Homo-oligomer: A and B are copies of this chain.
Amino acid sequence: MADAAIDPREFLPPDEPVHLLDPDGTYHEDPEHPVDLDDAGLRELYRLMLVTRKVDREAINLQRQGQLGVYASCMGQEAAQVGSAYALAEEDWIFPSYRELGAALVRQVDAAGLLHLYRGTWLSDHDPYKHHFGLMSIPIGTQALHATGFAMGARLDNNPIVTMTYFGDGGTSEGDPHEAMTFAGVMKSPVIFFVQNNQYAISVPLEKQTAAPTLAHKAVGYGLPGRRCDGNDVLATYAVTKKAVDRARAGEGPTFIEALTYRMEAHTTSDDPSRYRTQAELDEAATTDPIARMRNFLQQRDLYDSELEDAVEEQAKEVATYVRAGIYDAPHGDPMELFEHVYVDPTGYFEGQREQLRAELDANGEG
C-alpha cells in the first residue's frame, strides 16, 4: 500500500506571497527570490508595462469607436504579465488566454495582428511560431493543456525549452487546467501555470469561485510547487517566475504560480461592472497600481528621469499608432478565404458551396 513518500511541504505555498516592492517603491531584498537584472533590465520592465497600458487604452478607444467588436483590457495586470513573460527565454513558449496583451508585447508579437481577433478580421492573425506565442484562447482554461502537451513534446525531444500558460482565477474551476496539472505533474513537463488572480471571473468574485485557502494551494494536489506573489509588483512576478523557469529548464518539472492582482477595467468592453463592484473597491485597488510602484522604485534608484519617460512615451505612441493603423477601418479579406485553411487537403469538401458563395459575391458586385 503506497504511502506519502513525498514531503508535501515543498509544494505548499509559503504563508505570505512574495513581495519585493512596496507601493512607495521601497525594495525588500529576498535571498530566495533574487532579481538578476541590471539597470537596463529594470528600466525595460517599466517600459514594457507603460507601453502595455497605453496600447491597452488605445484598444479600448478603438472599441469605443466601433473599430473592435469587443476588447478585454489588462489594465492593472501589467506587472503580472510583463514580469512573468520577461522571465522566459526567447525560445520558450507562451500559451495565453484572451487578456495577455502585456505578455504579447514582451514577446514583440504584432499587436495589431493579435487584435484582429477582437476586430473580427480573422480569428487570429499573428504567427505563433515566429514569437513562440500561441493563439489567444477563449474557451476558458483549455490552453493549459496545449502548453502541457507542448512541454511534453519538448521534453521528449530533449529540447530545454519551457512553456508558460496564463489563465484566470475563474479558470482554475474548469476541468482542463486540472487535467493539465495532473498530466504535467506525472510527466514532469517543463510548464508553468501562471494564474492571474484578478479577483473576478466577469462578475463572480473569488470567494464564489473556490473555498480554497489560496489558489496556490491547488498545486499540492498535483505534486507541483504552489507559489504566490504580489501580482502588482513586477519584480516579484519576475523573480518568482524566473525561479520556476530555471527549475523547469533543469528538468525538475512544472510550477503553479498565483499572482495576486486586480482587474482595473471592466471584464470586457461589453461589461458593466457597476452592477457588481463599488467605486470604493476600485479606489482602493488604484492605490496598488503596478506602474506607479515601479516608477517609484526607479526614482529611488535614480534610474528614472524625464528622458526615460519621454522615450517610453514615444515608443508607446509608436506602438499605439501602429496598432491603430493596422486596425482602423481594416478591410475584411476575401470572403472566399472562408474555405481555405479548413483542411490541408480539402479533397471532397465544399461541393457546390464555393460556387454558391462566389455567385452571391458576384451578384452583390463584391467578387
Enumerate chain A interface residues (CB-CB to B < 8 A). Answer: 1-8, 11-12, 15, 17, 173-176, 178-179, 182, 185-186, 188, 197, 199, 206-214, 217-224, 230, 232, 253, 260-262, 285, 288
Closest chain-B Cβ to A277's Cβ sits at a distance in Å of 13
- Tell me the complex Cα distance, A206–B220, Å: 16
CB closest chain-B residue, reference A261: B1
CB closest chain-B residue, reference A219: B221
Specify which chain B residues have a CB less than 8 angstroms from the CB of A219 in the assembled complex.
221
26 A-B interface contacts by CB (under 8 A): A1-B261, A1-B288, A2-B199, A2-B260, A3-B17, A3-B260, A5-B213, A8-B213, A11-B213, A173-B179, A174-B175, A175-B175, A175-B179, A178-B178, A182-B209, A185-B211, A186-B210, A210-B221, A210-B223, A212-B221, A212-B223, A218-B220, A218-B221, A219-B221, A220-B220, A221-B221
Given known A-B contacts A211-B223, A214-B4, A220-B220, A182 and B173 have beta carbons under 8 A apart? yes
Closest chain-B Cβ to A346's Cβ sits at a distance in Å of 33
Do the beta carbons of B210 and A185 come within 8 Å of each other? Answer: yes
Specify which chain B residues have a CB less than 8 angstroms from the CB of A207 in the assembled complex.
2, 186
- Most chain B CB within 10 A, of A186, A211, A213, A261, is at A211
Closest chain-B Cβ to A118's Cβ sits at a distance in Å of 28
- Most chain B CB within 10 A, of A12, A220, A261, is at A220
Specify which chain B residues have a CB less than 8 angstroms from the CB of A4 in the assembled complex.
15, 213-214
Do the beta carbons of A224 and B206 come within 8 Å of each other? Answer: no
Closest chain-B Cβ to A63's Cβ sits at a distance in Å of 27
- Tell me the complex Cα distance, A7–B214, Å: 10
- Tell me the complex Cα distance, A218–B4, Å: 13
- Tell me the complex Cα distance, A260–B223, Å: 18
Sample of 9 more A-B contacts, CB < 8 Å, known A2-B206, A173-B179, A211-B224? A1-B199, A1-B288, A3-B214, A7-B213, A11-B217, A210-B221, A211-B253, A213-B220, A213-B223
CB closest chain-B residue, reference A198: B1
- Tell me the complex Cα distance, A8–B15, Å: 10
Do the beta carbons of B222 and A211 come within 8 Å of each other? Answer: yes
Specify which chain B residues have a CB less than 8 angstroms from the CB of A12 in the assembled complex.
8, 12
CB-CB nearest 6 A-B residue pairs: A175-B175, A211-B223, A185-B211, A218-B221, A178-B178, A8-B213
Given known A-B contacts A173-B179, A174-B175, A262 and B1 have beta carbons under 8 A apart? yes
Given known A-B contacts A1-B288, A175-B176, A6 and B220 have beta carbons under 8 A apart? no
Closest chain-B Cβ to A197's Cβ sits at a distance in Å of 8
